[in-house]
Amino acid sequence: MRVTLIRRALAGLVPPKVASPSSVTGGSVGEQMATVVDFYSKLPKGAAPPMSSGIKAKYWDGKNASVVPIYGTIAGLMLFGYTLDYFMHLRHHKNKHH
């Protein structure tokens, strides 16, 4: 039972069968290599495209790179910090001094 499960799990890791034993032993070299060349010619060429998406792809990757998210984050944190200061401490000093 375990051997079958292991074979099934590893089946995706084994590369496709390009040449069979009969094609390796018989026939001309050109016929043998035609299958291999056909297989490798169908593979994508060049570097893989970047897989980023969302905010990173919009602002940091490509020709439209920008620092707007950094400025927005700083401004948001400052606004959040002032709001916390106001509601925790500053609103008590609005009309009186201590």
Summarize pLDDT for 34-75 with one digit per residue, the tens. Answer: 888 888 888 888 887 767 777 777 777 777 788 888 899 999
Six-digit token string for 80: 């959040």
pTM (2 d.p.): 0.41
Q: Work out how many domains the chain is built from and give that number.
A: 1
Is the sign of the CA dihedral 32, 35, 37, 40 positive or negative? negative
81 falls within a domain: yes
Where residue 29 falls among pLDDT bands split at 50, 70, 90? low
Burial of 60 (0-12, 13-18, 19+ CB in 10 A): middle
Domain that holds residue 84: 55-93
Q: Give me the mean pLDDT over the 4-17 stretch.
A: 68
98 falls within a domain: no
